[in-house]
């Protein structure tokens, strides 16, 4: 399976896609989320959504919150939050089109917040490998229960449907990115917080100006704005290099936040 992709929120897209792309989606390797930390392998969809804020936390445990803002996939064979599959080591996840939930086996042993590289076989049942970390499905209204100190901000798209997962990707300094390792790139993923995260490429590369589904479809320092566009600094962008806060020739920096904008023709 291809790596996770970010969508336009600060989130990807296969037949089920993660959207980190347009301003904040991503395409995850796959995996469905659990409620606590016992989940299995990932799903086939892509991801989207906003980025997370920390790299280490797990949910608080206890009774499952009565929340519904974890996505809009029809709960059929199993429940994405309850992870109530009957088979051993099975994960409840959306089918590729997001029209129903299914139980699939093959979970690994890594828990919430653990580093991962594959869609299947590494994270415990009920968890996805998202941006290189095992994460559960989460409710945006109850982030602490599912994600600890991280955000419930990564949207994974399955066809026209979506689910939300925690984001444990480490933060970074946009246009610098020295905090990111060689397998990840620094991208502005949580626009409203002006938060940049170290995110792996989706594996479905789109050049600047080409259509994209997820933020990590685009190159470093770019965002998915329906097409890939460079992020820029509102102040002084005219004097900055491309990828360092400046814009390509013929484009101007259109402000999106007090600090950052996006380069558009």
In tens, the pLDDT along 179-220 reads 898 888 998 887 888 889 898 888 788 999 999 888 788 988
CB atoms < 10 A from the CB of 109, how many? 12
The mean predicted confidence, pLDDT, of the chain is 79
Could you identify the residue written with the tokens 């962008």? 237
Domain membership of residue 231 (yes or no) is no
Domain membership of residue 240 (yes or no) is no
- Give per-residue pLDDT as tens, 96-149: 889 999 998 878 899 999 998 876 678 999 998 888 899 999 999 999 999 999
Predicted pLDDT of residue 100: 95
**Ramachandran angles phi, psi of 94, nearest 5°:** -70, 150
Domain membership of residue 132 (yes or no) is yes
Domain membership of residue 257 (yes or no) is no
CA distance linking residue 217 with residue 105, whole number of Å: 29
Instruction: Find the domain containing 198 and state its range.
Output: 1-62+69-217
Domain membership of residue 114 (yes or no) is yes
Domain membership of residue 172 (yes or no) is yes
Predicted pLDDT of residue 225: 85
Residues 138 and 70: beta-carbon distance below 8 Å? yes
Could you identify the residue written with the tokens 């993660």? 18
Q: Count how many domains the chain has.
A: 1
pLDDT band at 61 (very low <50, low <70, confident <90, very high): low
Could you identify the residue written with the tokens 């296969």? 14
CB neighbour burial string for 139-165, b if at least 16 within 10 angstroms, e if fewer? bbebbebbbbebbbbbbbbbbebbbbb
Domain membership of residue 254 (yes or no) is no
CA distance linking residue 218 with residue 140, whole number of Å: 26
The residue ranking higher by pLDDT, 41 or 161, is 161
Gyration radius of the chain's alpha carbons: 17
Predicted pLDDT of residue 119: 66
Could you give the residue ranges of the DSSP H alpha helices within the chain? 143-147
Domain membership of residue 195 (yes or no) is yes
Percentage of residues in the chain with pLDDT exceeding 90? 42
Residues 160 and 72: beta-carbon distance below 8 Å? no
CA distance linking residue 43 with residue 31, whole number of Å: 4
Per-residue pLDDT averaged across 166-180, rounded?
89
């Amino acid at each position: 399976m291809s790596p996770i992709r970010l969508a336009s929120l600060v989130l990807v897209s296969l037949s089920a896609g993660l959207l980190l792309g347009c301003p904040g989606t991503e395409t995850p390797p796959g995996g469905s989320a659990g409620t606590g930390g016992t989940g299995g392998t990932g799903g086939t969809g892509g991801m989207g959504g906003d980025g997370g804020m920390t790299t280490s936390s797990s949910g608080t445990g206890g009774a499952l919150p009565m929340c519904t803002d974890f996505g809009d996939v029809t709960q059929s064979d199993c429940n994405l939050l309850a992870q109530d599959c009957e088979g051993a080591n099975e994960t409840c996840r959306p089918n590729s089109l997001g029209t129903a939930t299914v139980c699939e086996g093959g979970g690994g042993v890594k828990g919430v917040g653990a580093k991962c590289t594959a869609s299947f076989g590494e994270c415990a049942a009920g968890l996805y490998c998202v941006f290189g970390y095992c994460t559960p499905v989460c409710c945006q209204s109850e982030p602490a229960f599912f994600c600890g100190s991280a955000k419930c901000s990564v949207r994974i798209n399955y066809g026209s449907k979506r689910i939300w997962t925690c984001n444990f990707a480490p933060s970074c300094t946009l246009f610098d990115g020295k905090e990111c390792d060689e397998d990840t790139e620094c991208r502005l993923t949580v626009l409203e917080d002006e938060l940049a995260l170290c995110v792996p490429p989706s594996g479905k590369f789109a050049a600047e100006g080409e259509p994209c589904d997820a933020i990590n479809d685009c190159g470093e320092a770019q965002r998915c704005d329906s097409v890939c566009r460079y992020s820029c600094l509102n102040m002084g962008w005219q004097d900055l290099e491309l990828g360092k806060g400046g814009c390509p020739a013929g484009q101007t920096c259109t402000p999106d936040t007090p600090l950052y904008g996006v380069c558009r023709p």
